[in-house]
Amino acid sequence: MLLLKAKRMAELPIPVYLFRQSGFAPSGDTVVSVAPLQSVVAVYGAGGVVGEGGLASAIGGGVVFRNDASDACYIGVWGARNASRFSSDLRARMEIRLLRHAPDARLNFWGAAKERPLRN
């Protein structure tokens, strides 16, 4: 029974949040896209402080949102091009559901590499 429930949960579409937030660029309103930590690690690999290292090395930076009450963690990217690439990479590996609002979580931290990595 437990195995069947776990399999069914894995088949559910993964929520990918797409929203705008200030604080990432001088212009203010920046596109941000995040997804649950486990889903992103399954595509990009782990590493870093909470698991954002694989994503950060593939795209050149990462953002972490965390809900302190539920301990839910979402990692992703900022910038329209990065958000498009992020959702395309996730869509290629799993079924996603695009939600056009921020998750119920606060910005924990974000960082960028000095150079943008080359796309394979």
pLDDT of amino acid 110: 76
**How do residues 38-78 score in pLDDT, each as one tens digit?**
999 999 988 777 777 788 888 888 899 999 999 999 999 99
The dihedral of CA 36, 40, 42, 45: what is its sign? Answer: negative
